[in-house]
Amino acid sequence: MIVVTDGTSPYGRLVVRHLLDRVPAGRVAVTTTDPAQAADLAALGVEVRREDYAEPGGEAVLFAEAERVLSNPPPGWIRRQTPRGSIDLAAARIKAMAEAGVPHLVHLGIINSERTNLKWHHALEGAVRRSGVPFTILRNNLHSEALLPAARLAMTGGEFVCAFGGRSMAPAALTDYAEAAAIVLADGGHEGEVLKLSGFGLTALGIASVFTLLAGREIALREVDAASVATELKSVGATEEVAEALSDLYEATSRGEFSPEGDDLDRILGHPHQLNEEALRTALAVG
């Protein structure tokens, strides 16, 4: 059995979709704190398991017959203010896997884990390494779709307002990261490996060029300093929530969080990953 934790998250659902291209639905299970949200997956033949770590011995049921388990990070995994409860739940999952004797843990981390300022990524990866469970760590870079709010603003106002601080990012489509995870989960192997999954490096000007292709007209680049980026984003139509999320994203970019490139993603996929333009065009069409 292949178990995908937090299987109703956008990433978890994509992993399941790619898994079902490779293995029978009867070999796939998802965990969730709300099984009702997984009714569509259950209809496909995927087993749905309710997460409740307060229940004695619950981990044995949750990870019963597991061959490999995907350990998902909390929602908002690139945000500075990720809720403490979400981090605690992710840590509880890792602890439960160890107690259940899971044979192989596949953990989703962040590309720059050795020096990220998002310290809870250190804590979770450390918990994986100390768990005693054979592991594979997938260090994902930024997903292209995280740029969707910036793309919408740029296409509306005609300029890309950002604060990259002269650094670059190397995002790739969420579906490509999910397919790579599904391949590792379905095929096995890669135990003890840390796979660094990234797209091609792009500067702020490169991102503006992607937005130009999407818009079909010239999108100007306007780089501002980090202290004023939230105000500038709101001046071009960003809501408070979007301005805060993009400020977090640009602040991390300016530290080099998303700059590493590599060929692990294409190597695992066995085909070239999607271009950012394609990923964002698809996301815009979905809405």
Give the pLDDT confidence of 16-40 residue by residue, as tens digits.
Answer: 999 999 999 999 999 998 999 999 9
The DSSP code sequence of the chain is -EEETTTTSHHHHHHHHHHTTTS-GGGEEEEES-GGGGHHHHHTT-EEEE--TTSTTHHHHHTTT-SEEEEPPPSSTT-TT--HHHHHHHHHHHHHHHHHT-S-EEEEEETTTTT-S-HHHHHHHHHHHHS-S-EEEEEE--BGGGGHHHHHHHHHHSEEEE--TT--B--B-HHHHHHHHHHHHHH---TT-EEEE----B-HHHHHHHHHHHHTS--EEEE--GGGHHHHHHHTT--HHHHHHHHHHHHHHHTTTT----SHHHHHHTSPPPPHHHHHHHHHHH-
- Give yes or no for a contact between 260 and 91, defined as CB atoms under 8 angstroms apart: no
What's the mean per-residue pLDDT of the chain? 91
So what's the pLDDT on residue 75?
64
The residues pairing with 233 across neighbouring beta strands, listed in sequence order, are: none
So what's the pLDDT on residue 121?
78
So what's the pLDDT on residue 262?
85
- Give yes or no for a contact between 150 and 253, defined as CB atoms under 8 angstroms apart: no
Mean pLDDT of 240-269: 93
Maximum distance among all Cα pairs of the chain, rounded to whole angstroms: 59
User: Is the pLDDT at 4 greater than 70, yes or no?
Assistant: yes
Tell me the pLDDT band of 139, cut-offs 50, 70 and 90.
very high
User: Is the pLDDT at 221 greater than 80, yes or no?
Assistant: yes
Tell me the pLDDT band of 61, cut-offs 50, 70 and 90.
confident
User: Is the pLDDT at 90 greater than 70, yes or no?
Assistant: yes
Distance CA 38, CA 200 (A): 34
User: Is the pLDDT at 82 greater than 80, yes or no?
Assistant: no
Tell me the pLDDT band of 212, cut-offs 50, 70 and 90.
very high
Comparing CA positions, the residue from 212, 195, 200 lying closest to residue 172 is: 200
- All structural domains of the chain: 2-140 (3.40.50.720)
So what's the pLDDT on residue 179?
98
So what's the pLDDT on residue 273?
96
So what's the pLDDT on residue 247?
95
Give the pLDDT confidence of 143-168 residue by residue, as tens digits.
Answer: 999 999 999 999 999 999 999 999 99
So what's the pLDDT on residue 286?
72
